[in-house]
């Protein structure tokens, strides 16, 4: 029977002791979207499951994406029809059934500049895109616009358009989605533990199979052996390192491609729709994000630090320059509020193959009995990746294992959502908050919004905002600890709420208030709170290096 899926950071020690004392059927290494998905897939088949993550849920690629759930329009050009078809099916499933509170349709305008050549070519591509989706669809068909019609909804564009097309995909808060998948796995019995690293793979006495992992608690340094019938590696760009712990040779190589995005104010780009532009190498998106735009991305090889890939001034200038080819009012360095960089785990075909040519389809590998891994793919198709790697892991399991049911399994917060949305006004009145606050929570927690509001009812100080000018409540900080496993200020400001990429100071001014709320729940004294604030400010300082190099106001505000 499913539980409430609460990942209470205060119960972490108990969960670690339980994990050390009991063998599990499946141990998942990696707490990104694919690892969380694998934990949910296995747990919902009735298996005993544990997930360990060396940092925080979604700390890597899964909090640094373009925040899109999409079919991959540009993959049509590469004739990757299977990937597009699968991604469109997954997008529609997420929008309608699995996560309608988190995944929402968004429109994109595709501007045309060559009347004779572009419109039939792009129009044919979008017609195929729509046709592959089928007749039952949660988003509208694409439509053609005249130049005047395009400028009406996107006056930010330069005159001289030949027209435009509008099509629809969907968007998501990637970190929140990942955390919700992990919580749904916990609701079905999975043990989910963050800040716990695999430091070695255990082998059977004859060395023929993997039987678990040695795990280090990164909070205390203590190590323990976790026994598992199957170990599933969903470590993204860390996959090779995990294989190396057990001296196992993978059947593929993961190549790292760096994607950089910038964040600018909504008023900097006058448009009521997202936009997509063709570039020499790929595409550039203008993605609406609350009161901001996310603009990106880049696609370059990366061989540096995996944990915190660095955006450079050149990355930012490339995005600005590409965007300004079509904007009437150019974006400047002063418009840049924030920048973030993530690493795409691409399957390497050869050392000299450009990353933009590599397939985004995933690969499942079973190099030795007891060990399976998956790599590649897209955020959109995480559920299929999870299904496939669990299928591979449980072959010859010794007992019958049911097929995957995650296509029928709404995530936490999706059940009862229409009724909760209809009661938004009553919720606002009952809890003494604005309707806007309730709508904000519904878009993040769905039908679980009442749990957050109850925290604010019990302690009125939690009804205050985390930071002026932003919608996040202090109750969300408390909820991040009591229900979402947050252990550090970074976990809250970078992933549970998104001030790290939304605030001009990257959330630096909010850090003391967050430390106060978290400290009250986790028993932090004054010294520990000061250490946590300092660590977060150091993270902000490191993350604004490219902005400092450009001399932007956002960098000066963060430094101040």
In order of their start, the domains of the chain are 9-62+175-253+358-408 (3.50.50.60), 76-170+255-357 (3.30.9.10), 459-559 (1.10.8)
374, pLDDT greater than 50: yes
Q: What is the pLDDT of residues 423-447, one digit of tens each?
A: 999 999 999 999 999 999 999 999 9
What's the pLDDT band for 356 if we cut at 50, 70, 90? Answer: very low
1, pLDDT greater than 50: no
pLDDT at residue number 355? 46
Give the residue-averaged pLDDT of 121-130. Answer: 84
Give the residue-averaged pLDDT of 73-90. Answer: 81
Q: Is there a contact between 456 and 462 (Cβ–Cβ < 8 Å)?
A: yes
pLDDT at residue number 228? 98
353, pLDDT greater than 90: no
pTM of the model: 0.95
Give the residue-averaged pLDDT of 353-368. Answer: 70
pLDDT at residue number 232? 98
* Distance from C-alpha of 520 to C-alpha of 543, rounded to nearest angstrom: 28
Q: Would residue 58 be called left, alpha or beta, if left means φ above 0 and alpha means ψ between -120 and 50 degrees?
A: left
* Distance from C-alpha of 165 to C-alpha of 150, rounded to nearest angstrom: 8
40, pLDDT greater than 70: yes
* Distance from C-alpha of 211 to C-alpha of 234, rounded to nearest angstrom: 17
Q: What is the pLDDT of residues 462-482, one digit of tens each?
A: 999 999 999 999 999 999 999
Q: Is 362 helix (H, G, I), strand (E, B) or coil?
A: coil
Kindly provide the b/e burial profile for residues 474-504, where b requires at least 16 CB atoms within 10 angstroms of the residue's own CB. Answer: bbbbbbbbbbbbbbbbbbbbbbbbbbbbbbb
354, pLDDT greater than 70: no
357, pLDDT greater than 60: no
pLDDT at residue number 512? 98
* Average pLDDT over the chain, rounded to an integer: 92
420, pLDDT greater than 70: yes
Percent residues over pLDDT 90 in the chain = 80
550, pLDDT greater than 60: yes
252, pLDDT greater than 80: yes
Give the residue-averaged pLDDT of 161-188. Answer: 97
Q: Which is more confidently placed, 117 or 366?
A: 366
Please give the full DSSP string across 85-97, using - where no structure is assigned.
HHHHHHHHHIIII
314, pLDDT greater than 60: yes
């Amino acid at each position: 029977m499913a539980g409430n899926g609460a990942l209470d950071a205060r119960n972490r020690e108990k969960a670690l002791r339980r994990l050390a004392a009991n063998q599990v059927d499946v141990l998942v290494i990696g707490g990104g979207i694919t690892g969380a998905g694998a934990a949910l897939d296995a747990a919902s088949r009735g298996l005993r499951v544990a997930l360990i993550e060396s940092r925080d849920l979604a700390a890597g690629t899964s909090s640094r994406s373009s925040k899109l759930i999409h079919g991959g329009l540009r993959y049509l050009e590469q004739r990757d029809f299977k990937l597009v078809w699968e991604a469109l099916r997954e997008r529609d499933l997420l929008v309608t059934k699995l996560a309608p509170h988190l995944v929402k349709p968004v429109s994109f305008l595709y501007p045309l500049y060559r009347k004779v050549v572009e419109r039939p070519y792009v129009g044919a591509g979008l017609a195929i895109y729509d046709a592959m989706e089928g007749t039952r669809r949660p988003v509208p068909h694409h439509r053609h616009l005249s130049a005047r019609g395009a400028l009406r909804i996107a006056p930010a564009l330069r005159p001289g358009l030949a027209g435009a097309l509008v099509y629809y995909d969907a968007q998501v808060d990637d970190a929140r989605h990942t955390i919700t998948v992990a919580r749904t796995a916990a609701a079905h019995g999975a043990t989910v533990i963050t800040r716990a690293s695999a430091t070695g793979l255990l082998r059977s006495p004859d060395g023929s199979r993997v039987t678990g992992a040695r795990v280090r608690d990164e909070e205390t340094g203590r190590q323990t052996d976790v026994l598992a019938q199957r170990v599933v590696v969903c470590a993204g760009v860390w996959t090779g390192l995990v294989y190396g712990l057990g001296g196992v040779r993978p059947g593929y190589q993961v190549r790292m491609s760096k994607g950089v995005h910038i964040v600018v104010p909504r008023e900097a780009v006058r448009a009521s729709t997202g936009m997509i532009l063709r570039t020499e190498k790929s595409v550039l998106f203008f993605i609406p994000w609350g009161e901001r735009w996310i603009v990106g991305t880049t696609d370059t090889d990366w061989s540096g630090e995996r944990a915190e890939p660095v955006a450079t001034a050149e990355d930012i200038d490339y995005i600005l320059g590409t965007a300004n080819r079509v904007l009437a009012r150019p974006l400047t360095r002063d418009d840049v509020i924030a920048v973030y960089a993530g690493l795409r785990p691409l399957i390497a075909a050869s050392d000299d193959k450009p990353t933009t040519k590599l397939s985004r389809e995933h690969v499942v590998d079973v190099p030795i009995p007891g060990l399976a891994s998956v790599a590649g793919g897209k955020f959109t198709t995480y559920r299929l990746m999870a299904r496939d790697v669990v299928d591979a892991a449980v072959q010859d399991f010794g007992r019958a294992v049911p097929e995957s049911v995650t296509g029928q399994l709404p995530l936490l917060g999706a059940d009862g959502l229409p009724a909760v949305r209809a009661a938004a006004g009553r919720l606002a009145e009952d809890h003494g908050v604005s309707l806007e606050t309730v709508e904000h929570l519904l878009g993040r927690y769905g039908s679980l919004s009442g749990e957050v509001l109850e925290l604010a009812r019990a302690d009125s100080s939690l009804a205050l905002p985390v930071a002026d000018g932003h919608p996040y409540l202090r109750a969300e900080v408390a909820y991040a600890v009591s229900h979402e496993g947050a252990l550090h200020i970074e976990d809250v400001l970078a992933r549970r709420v998104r001030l790290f990429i939304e605030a001009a100071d990257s959330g630096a001014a909010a850090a003391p208030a967050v430390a106060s709320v978290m400290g009250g729940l986790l028993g932090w004294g004054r010294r520990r709170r000061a250490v946590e604030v300092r660590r977060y400010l150091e993270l902000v300082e490191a993350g604004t290096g490219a902005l400092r190099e450009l001399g932007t106001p956002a960098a000066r505000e963060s430094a101040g």
